[in-house]
Amino acid sequence: MMKFKITTEQDIREAAAIERRRQNEEERKARIFNAKQRILGLDYPALERQIAEKNKQKQIDAEKERRYLAEEERRMELIKCKENQLEEERKKRDAEINFYRAKFQRRENRREYDLNDPFAYRNAQPARIADDDPRLGISSAQIFSGEDLLNEERRKNQRNQQRAWLEQQIHERRQAEENKLKADRLLQEALVARDQRAIELDSSERNNRKKMQEAIREYNRNLALQQQQRKAVEKQQEEEDNLAEIYNVLTSDMLTENPDVANSCLGPGKKVAYLYRGMTPEELEQFRREQKIQAEEKAKMKAEEVAKDGKWDQFTRNITRSLILKELEVDKRAKAEVAELHRQNFLLATEQKARKEELEKFTAASDEFYAQFNKSTR
């Protein structure tokens, strides 16, 4: 009879180790036979770091751009506020000037109003009011109609007065123009300062971006150089490992087919599966003898099982026959009980029918009982 070996924990660990080595070998084949990956290679962690750094740099640039726009908006608001303030001051100054003109420089208050007064002749005194006019001299013949003895002096005084008024107007106009030029100069200086600050900020931003780009390029160059050096070292290490593996395979017991390496340390009868190369002729002869013995034992056991099955079949038939007879007897008894039950039910039904007919004789209503109804509206 064939004896099956019991699987131990050591066998399970060896099977797991064999499976792990098989998977490693399959992965290694996939790497080796993939020419593109073997030659070029991919450094996924470095790529991920570069992507993360680029995203971080984008966020930093976006934050700088946002701050620059916020600063530009703030400065534009300050300039706008300054312009509004200057405009308000100009309006206030013009309003004060108009108020001053309306209050202190009215037409009737002008120095030359008497020259331009349309009612001058209406309001002027006549040359003579009466003969006793104190304005006349001793003799009325000294004063003649249309005579003006102070004409030259009056004209001179009027010219001096007009010259003084003209100089005062010129001075006031020059002062107003100077104030206006001063306000325009202040506004222009504010605009120039704003533009200069914007130019300085733009130049600073371009310099910072240029420095950042140069730093990124330098970092990428160093990273590429390090990657090339690492690839060269890895390639050299891989070639050395391949040569060592080829040598180990060529000098291993697997190719030399040494039968002693298949013996397991767990017992003299156990073998290591991945090192086993088949049985020897003596083991094959012993195996065939054991197979023949097991076949004879199996035939003997089969004959015993056939005899035992025959006895069990005979016993089953006897049991079946006894059960059939028992079932027939039970069915016969059940039919007799059913017949007796029907007979008793019939007797009870006959008795109940007779009792019902007898009750109907005493409780039946006559036609006179039904005729007393439906004879009124209520």
Q: What is the 3-state secondary structure (H, E, C) of 188-254?
A: HHHHHHHHHHHHHHHHHHHHHHHHHHHHHHHHHHHHHHHHHHHHHHHHHHHHHHHHHHHHHHHCCHH
Q: Give the residue-averaged pLDDT of 360-378.
A: 64
Residue 140 maps to a domain: no
Q: Above 80 in pLDDT, residue 237? A: yes
User: Is there a single domain that holds both residue 262 and residue 196?
Assistant: yes
Q: State the residue range of the domain holding 312.
A: 279-362
Q: What pLDDT is attached to residue 143?
A: 55
- Cα–Cα distance between 232 and 7 in angstroms, integer? 47
Q: Are 287 and 279 in contact (CB under 8 A)?
A: yes
Indicate if 342 and 274 belong to the same structural domain: no
Query: To the nearest whole percent, how much of the chain has pLDDT over 90?
Result: 7
Cα–Cα dist 71/64, whole Å: 10
Average pLDDT of the segment spanning 182-192 = 87
Q: What's the pLDDT at 47?
A: 73
Q: Which of the residue ranges 30-34, 235-239, 280-284 has the most confident prediction, judged by mean pLDDT? A: 235-239
**Residues 198 and 101 grouped into a single domain:** yes
Mean pLDDT of 346-371: 78
The answer to whether residue 44 sits within a structural domain is: yes
With respect to residue 175, please indicate whether it lies within any of the assigned structural domains: yes
pLDDT at 250 exceeding the cut of 50: yes
The pLDDT tens digits of the residues spanning 56-98 come to 888 988 998 899 888 889 989 999 999 999 999 999 999 998 8
pLDDT at 130 over 60: no
Same domain, 95 and 107: yes
| Whether residue 221 sits in one domain with residue 239 | yes
Q: Is the pLDDT of residue 1 over 50?
A: no
Predicted local confidence at residue 118, as pLDDT: 79
Residue 86 lies in a domain: yes
- Per the domain annotation, does 120 fall within a domain? no
pLDDT in the model for residue 213: 87
Ordered DSSP codes for 282-326: HHHHHHHHHHHHHHHHHHHHHHHHHHHHHHHHHHHHHHHHHHHHH
Judgement on whether residues 332 and 345 belong to the same structural domain of the protein: yes
Out of 45-49, 333-337, 371-375, give the one with best mean pLDDT: 333-337
Are 225 and 235 in the same domain?
yes
Residue 191 has pLDDT above 80, yes or no: yes
- Within a domain: residue 378? no
Residues 170 and 308 in one domain: no
Q: How far apart are CA 59 and CA 130, in angstroms?
A: 104
Question: Is the per-residue pLDDT at 134 higher than 70?
Answer: no
Please state the domain count of the chain. 2
Residues 109 and 236 in one domain: yes
Mean pLDDT taken over the chain = 80
Is the model's pLDDT at 377 over the cut of 50? no
Q: How many CB atoms lie within 10 A of CB 151?
A: 9
Residues 56 and 200 occupy one common structural domain? yes
Same domain as 100, residue 76: yes
Q: What is the pLDDT of residue 274?
A: 66
Write the pLDDT tens digit of every residue in 260-294: 666 666 666 676 666 666 667 787 888 888 888 88
Per-residue pLDDT, 323: 86
Dump pLDDT digits (tens) for 308-329: 888 888 888 888 888 888 888 8
What is the rounded distance in angstroms from the CA atom of residue 142 to the CA atom of residue 22? 152
- Residue finishing a domain among 223, 255, 278: 278
Whether residue 50 is contained in a domain is answered as: yes
pLDDT at 89: 92
How far apart, in whole angstroms, are the C-alpha atoms of residue 112 and residue 162?
Answer: 8
